[in-house]
Amino acid sequence: MAKMKNLFLVLSIVVTLAMCVWATIRIVKYVNFSLNCEAYLKRAADANTVELAKTELKKAIDYAEENGLTTGVVSIFLKNPVNDIGFWYTNINSAYDELVNLSPDATSLEKTNVR
């Protein structure tokens, strides 16, 4: 009976450590994404000029590409369209392309509507 208690204690410690490692990795990844992608998307959305928006959006796109955030879903069990990374990546990439292809002689109204 003592061996079963010791086995249960060791198994509990291993599972607890595994969960702590997993939680730490998830927190670090969340903070990394927040600082290196989400913040730049917010800055691009708040930018007052097309050039500034392009610069900030490019940083977010580069981060997404470097970290494999271009396809797939983020959910484990439910494949909900809200969790589709491919749509998100295509959407921000399209926004960047529109900014890049904006005519230099576009009016202020056109620039504001594109941003």
pTM of the model: 0.78
Q: What pLDDT sits at residue 111? A: 64
Q: How many domains does the chain have?
A: 1
Query: What percent of the chain lies above the pLDDT cut of 90?
Result: 65
HEC sequence for the chain: CHHHHHHHHHHHHHHHHHHHHHHHHHHHHHHHHHHHHHHHHHHHHHCCCHHHHHHHHHHHHHHHHHCCCCCCECCCCCCCHHHEHHHHHHHHHHHHHHHHCCCCCCCHHHHHHHC
pLDDT band at 3 (very low <50, low <70, confident <90, very high): confident
Range of the domain at 39: 2-114
Task: List pLDDT tens digits, range 8-27.
Answer: 999 999 999 999 999 999 99
The pLDDT of residue 33 is 94
